[in-house]
Structure 1
Amino acid sequence: MGKWTIEALGTDKVIIGMCHFLPLPGDPSFDKKGGIEKVIEAARHDLLALQEGGVDAVMFSNEFSLPYLTDVRTETVASMARIIGELMPDVKIPFGVNVLWDPKQSLNLAAATGAKFVREIFTGVYASDFGLWNTNCGDVVRHQHNIGAEDVKLLFNIVPEAARYLGDRNIIDIAKSTVFNTKPDALCVSGLVAGAETDSQILKKVKEAVPGTVVFANTGVKLNNVEEQLSIADGAIVGTTFKKDGVFENPVDVTRVKEFMDRVKKFRENLKN
């Protein structure tokens, strides 16, 4: 239980900090005057703040490529590869990638950069803010092996933000069948949107349903609920909480990261005792 997180990321009850890229070339909100250099420098600031604050791993994502695509264009992936390549000398901890919302492109980026994990929507059919959203996990996993990315861990988001499962199935049935049919490395349980708290009761039910699978709290883990969430989950993916004033659009605040990680480290110590 949680074993691969110890081997790949160095700990159980792991905290993965989000490094959100500003809008990229081709995105509607891309700052053409500031150019890709502005995106790189903002990403470097957030990466260094997350590392100094003590997170266990970092995940790079094109969070501000709004509105998102489910068939991501080449210029987006190329830009993300450029940014990560520029940051590589500064990366001191394990990292993953998330190309929203395209699992094949996430794996392509992981293979190109040496990422240890990807987070994506791999399974299900959804009614979403960006239209009917379908997936093909079998095709994606075969692509993973074809490009030599079989060691990349797959984090399955089974409660997509801003989307609803088309089939009338509860989260427990989804978790069980996802684990049986697709053998994910982890399940990510979310709130409705980025920064929204993951319901601890749902988190608990999912973990109990698939005790042999790593389960992450995917959104809304904050200073005041981190112990409760980590008492159930094997780890958490944290974005908004680490931002200045806890505002999604702001840069990462190293003081907030340190305060949060100090609490996490105390929680881990208490588990050992």
Structure 2
Amino acid sequence: MSLALVFGLAGCATASASIPGEDAITIGVKIDQPGLGRKENGVFRGFEVDVGSYIARRLGASKVTFKEVRSDNREQKLEAHSVDLVLAPYSITPDRANLVTFAGPYYVAHQDVMVKRGDTRIRTIRDLNGRKMCQASGSVSTERVVNGLGIATNLVPASSYSDCVAKLRAGAVDAVSTGDLVLAGFAAPDVQILNVPFTDERYGVGMRKGDIDACEKVNRAITTMYQDGTASRLLRKWFGSSGLKLVEEVPQFEGCS
């Protein structure tokens, strides 16, 4: 299914109208990141699930379907038309923007560090030097530490951030570093976020490359989501008890290209 068909204006009375038979949108989300995207007993739940549903409804879809994506297959899922939109902690980067079109961001998170509670060896990002840090497959977060900041960590590969947190709890790694919303979803008595943010993580809505019309419509939906109070409500619903300082203003968009 093409987003151009779903969102096309031909034969439509308004921008939110849908062409009969093409009013369904499939959204790719993570299924193992508490707070953002998780599948429990066959039901998808999380902030990005709710945001994706809101955007799809604003675009006129009467049916919204969710499918699992991973950090290492988001582009492939879009190219294969397995999903139409991706909301799966998808940080907007120049390299990724060469492969997909991004709307948004719908939230600007900040990269931070999670360690086992009581670990006094790591207090700042620089303390990761020489420590074992988890590297989730397909994620760019470790690059920001190793290449961006020049910190010589010992990278330990993992399939996902849920796998990373499991390795942290088991003592296989000393730290996990990624966007604070991702880390907040894993918050528990035995682990803690250091609250030492050092980058911006612009979470975008990924779609097939070149679908500018759909991108602009998604941006308008995101703007409305913040203006009508839905964004604030959803952020507080999923992360209000995490201790993070939540940003409830409309993010500055990157521009569709």
Same fold (TM over 0.5): no
User: Which has more strand, going by share of residues?
Assistant: 2
User: Which has more helix, going by share of residues?
Assistant: 1
Higher CA-based Rg? 2
The TM-score, its normalising length taken from structure 2, stands at 0.30
